[in-house]
A and B are shown apart, each in its own frame.
Chain A
Amino acid sequence: MRGIDLEIKKSETVAIVGASGSGKTTLLSLIAGLDVPSSGEIYLADRELTAMDEEQRAKVRGEMVGFVFQTFQLLASLTAIENVMLPAELKNDPDAEKKAMELLRRVGLEHRTKHYPRQLSGGEQQRVAIARAFASSADILFADEPTGNLDTKTGARIIDLLFDLNREFGTTLVLVTHDERIAARCDRSIQISSGMIEPENSLEPSSSVAG
């Protein structure tokens, strides 16, 4: 990545778009504090991620950040509800189970709480992942190609769910996608190619087409 200068405001929804290998996933993992840049500074809610060690970054992630991944990333040895309980349990929250149950009901999986990931369909797994992402009461949610492994119809429903919940919780949403229809639903689109951000005005035509 070169010459990145980017600011995302609270409660904003931002799409990062670009071709495969353009660097959009790398950008996401840097902003989310999953990875560190070789130079430059990254701030998350006024806290400088680049000055922290892994221990401190993990704390920040636990307090402020939620994730939804393309490959769902549920723990195979845990049931649906246990996966959703995990973020609260890491914070020793005594209400973990109650909150998790509520979120699973919210994503429409109250009848599959005791199922293991391998017993769930792809769409169901992603709904569990979304429930887990909101379970951490995060200020900012990062989603990496959340529909990449799903068929169009299921994907559309997942995106609806994601945006509904996002509105409800008032979360900041940063989402990596190559689907321009999804990008169009965001407040803002950032186009990446060869590790650099394209000028934002170049996006206007495509976003108007989608709209």
Chain B
Amino acid sequence: MNFPLAIKLLWRDWRSGELTLLLASLVIAVSTVTTITLFVDRLQQALYQESATFLAADRVIASNDPIDSAILQKASQLHLDQAETLNFLSMVFSADRAQFASVKAVTADYPLRGELIISEEAFKFGEIVRHGPRQGEVWLESRLLPSLDIKAGDVIDIGVATFVVSKALIKEPDKGGGFSNTGPRVLMNMADVPLTEVVQPGSRLSYRYLFAGETNALNEFEAWAKPKLLEGSRIFGVKEGATGIGNALDRAERFLLLGGLLGVILAGVAIALSAQRYALRHYDHVAILKTLGATPNGIDSLFLVIFIVMGIFATFAGSAIGYVTQMGIVSLLQPFIPIELPAPGTRPIWLGLVTGFVCLLSFALPPLLKLRSTEPVRVIRRDLEDANVSSRLSYGLGILGTVGLMRWYSGDWTLTLLLFSGGVVAVLVLSVIAYGLLKSGRVLGMQAGSIWRLALAGLQRRGQENTMQILVFGLAIMLLLILFLVRTALIDEWQSQIPVDAPNHFAMNISPEDVEPIRNLLNDNGVESQPIYPMILGRITRVNDELAKARDKRTSESRANDGNRGPRSGSTRNLTYAATLPDDNRVVAGTWWPEDYQGKALVSLEKDLAESNALKVGDELVFTIQGRELETTVSSIRSVSWDNMQPNFYIILSPGALKDFPSTFMTSFFLERENKVFLNTLLRNYPTMTVIEVDAIIEQIKTIISQVTLAIELVLGLIMISGALVLLASIQASMDERFKQHAILRTLGAGRRLVMGSLIVEFCVLGLFAGILASIGAEITVYALEVEVFELDYTANPVLWLLGPVVGTVLIGIIGTAATYKVVKTPPTIVLREVA
């Protein structure tokens, strides 16, 4: 190996400007990837931290019994922050009223993540604190104050102890959504629990152990603790713990990964293109070196050294630039990002470095390795074609590198294989179409003016290269379109999940005689109420003449086997009846009854309930309601979007079926934060009704979604820059050929207008064709991605078919013309000498 010579050649190449493009695209590629990964990593960390407030911790162990103290010791060893909460149901008493409440006792460090909001007055936004009540004090959820007819400063009894109600509790981070909370919250100090004497052997208790700390420590802790947990205990994090948010986070994470992936592929393509150009320009060098006695092995080691030195320089410089760029982006965006970004970890930097080297190996090495087989006789016989750079090796390395990186980034074979095979099929089909388009262009061009004829003839003559170029352009545009479309679909989906004026309060247990007065009270106060649903407790007791309990037992074995934790048919549930199908529900089997239906009782079941209990349309169900039986037939199965924060029911009966049963009613309404004190009036007048506030959780979900949306927009922007880089590299790669051709035309007397015109037309036509291909490819891939990976409902994208060609034409037209503008500015002799 001739190391000094290699370094000298590298230095001389650099000095003469031969290396600039390759090095630039390497550095830019690595720095883009590093920027994206660093940024994504920080955003992800930030999103997780923000989402952790839903649990008030990073990890939670929920248990019905106290857990082994060894687990807590392990957490201390790993320097995790810890807190405990204990939940139990109890009656609470004021001077003259009593209420059933869900009491939560907390230790000093609660909450580990997120914050509490407390206030002097019920339903009024107050101060933010990060601790629970002191000993001897309790904080009461707002609605308890009017229903107990007390105010802050009064006392209540829990069990045998008396506490001062020091504040109204406006918001607690880990309250959870939905209606599963059985009573309004009373928050107390853990140290006071024994005084109440409420907690006795056999009480139904739920313990939560909260942990927060570094990701690695948390993961180690989770892995260590999981097998040691007894039956009735489980450990979980944000994703498992906060349904609805977990889903959004999961999709966002997949999107960010997809973005990172596409960024890497685009960078890889840019590197491959400039390496190929570098190699093409070095065939003559190698041939001369060979006549001077350089052996094929010598050439290999020569360019290997050049390659490695360049790679080291490019990856380190790229990583450094990436780091700085990312810092710049963050400091620019900080005012717009509603969350504090944690410091970047070291992992993304390694990721950037490794990515850089893998990109180099799989995309830049193959063309360089082909140099060894350059024939020395080339120096004499100029008619020899350039050795064909693409070979089994280069394809092999390229595929290996791409798939490897995709798998590494996404950690997901489905996503990887889907994207990759989509890409391969696209390339095959599209190259045929591209060639066809070029041919048809020629036919059209024959009838056109000289600028067009020149441009189209040029495109046609270098048919293979141009097919290749259309493919590269098309691929880059396609990836950008895919990202754009998936982003739009995701954001639409999230935003439609929670409309702006979605009801954020639910009123339940309204007695029939109170329905009208309450509705009037709401209207008088300018509150618009939603439809009123009757609610009657009942349960299914027989299915097709088999006892439901026996059937549950029979099906529960098979349920346990496939990990099915769906709702059981025999549980007591809230039943309702309705003439029309509620919004957001969709009938997936059977039919919904007519609006004026008055016949035999029919029932519509929710999909999960039906599936996990093997119930189907036509089954005969017998309900037991208030001790009486009601025979019904299943007429439809519905899907329900549980995330939408609307009143949803597992079981809906046909109108009239329940008219003989006394029922209470429920409704929902929208209240702004500043109008919430109205609830005091409402609850003082109708103490038996229950109001459930979901405004806090809706706000929390909206915050998260807007942050995730912003993250996605930012990543999209970064990828766009990557895409532009590929286009530039691809145009650069074809530059020599175009320069030469147009310089010759100019020596033949072609005017600046003709040359410029034909260049513009050439690039615009390339861009148009590429845009058409990109639209085809994007539509197919987006379909697969939305259905398979993001689990969204696919809708066709007619805009795409306009967007693709327009973006292609404009983008390639502008970049191409700008990049080749030099050709008309430079005297032809100089151009010819430089590219000779």
Contact = CB atoms under 8 A, between A and B. Distances in A.
In order of increasing CB-CB distance, the 5 nearest A-B pairs are: A62-B293, A77-B16, A58-B295, A34-B377, A35-B377
A202 interface: no
B377 A90 contact: no
B833 A73 contact: no
Nearest to B8: A89
A86 B292 contact: yes
A34 B288 CA distance: 11
Interface residues of A, number: 37
Interface stretch (B99-107, B378-386, B566-574, B669-677): B378-386
B2 interface: yes
Interface string B33-68: 000000000000000000000000000000000000
Nearest to A83: B288
A34 B13 CA distance: 26
Given A29-B380, A34-B376, A69-B379, A90 B16 contact: no
A82 interface: yes
A124 interface: no
Given A73-B284, A77-B18, A118-B834, A58 B290 contact: yes
Given A76-B16, A116-B16, A144 B380 contact: yes
B537 interface: no
Contact of B5 (A60, A76, A90): A90
A59 B13 contact: no
Contacts of A164: none
A63 B426 CA distance: 52
Interface residues on B, range: 20 to 34
Interface in A124-173: 132, 136, 144
A75 B302 CA distance: 16
Contacts of A86: 289, 292
B679 interface: no
Contact of A136 (B18, B290, B292): B292
A69 to B, nearest CB: 6
Interface in B1-22: 2, 4-5, 8, 12-13, 15-16, 18
Nearest to B373: A54
B291 interface: yes
A18 interface: no
A159 B824 CA distance: 40
Contacts of B289: 86, 90
A77 B12 contact: yes
A28 B377 CA distance: 10
B13 to A, nearest CB: 5
A23 B284 CA distance: 22
Contacts of B295: 54-55, 58-59, 62
13 contacts: A32-B291, A35-B375, A35-B376, A58-B295, A58-B298, A60-B293, A61-B290, A69-B379, A75-B285, A89-B2, A91-B293, A118-B834, A136-B292
Scoring B12, B13, B16, B288 by chain A CB atoms within 10 A of each residue's CB, the highest score goes to: B288
Contacts of B297: 55
Contact of B292 (A28, A60, A77, A90): A90
Nearest to B292: A87
B296 interface: yes
Interface string B529-541: 0000000000000
Interface of A: 25, 28-29, 32, 34-35, 54-55, 58-63, 65, 67, 69-71, 73-78, 82, 86-87, 89-92, 116, 118, 132, 136, 144
B16 A67 contact: no
A74 B288 CA distance: 8
Nearest to B378: A34
B298 A90 contact: yes
A139 to B, nearest CB: 13
A59 B18 contact: no
A82 B12 contact: yes
Contacts, number: 96
B766 to A, nearest CB: 29
Contacts of A25: 380-381
B9 to A, nearest CB: 8
Contacts of A144: 380
B294 interface: yes
Contacts of B291: 32, 34, 61, 65, 67, 73
A136 B833 CA distance: 28
A65 B106 CA distance: 90
Contact of A62 (B292, B380, B382): B292
Contact of A73 (B288, B294, B375, B834): B288
Nearest to A54: B296
B293 A136 contact: yes
A100 B284 CA distance: 22
Contacts of B16: 76-78, 116
Contacts of B375: 34-35
A180 B535 CA distance: 114
A167 B698 CA distance: 96
Contacts of A75: 285, 288
Nearest to A82: B12
Given A32-B291, A87-B292, 15 more contacts: A25-B381, A29-B377, A34-B380, A58-B298, A59-B293, A61-B293, A62-B293, A62-B294, A77-B13, A82-B12, A91-B293, A92-B4, A92-B5, A136-B292, A144-B380
B295 to A, nearest CB: 4
B2 A58 contact: no
A119 to B, nearest CB: 10
B833 A118 contact: yes
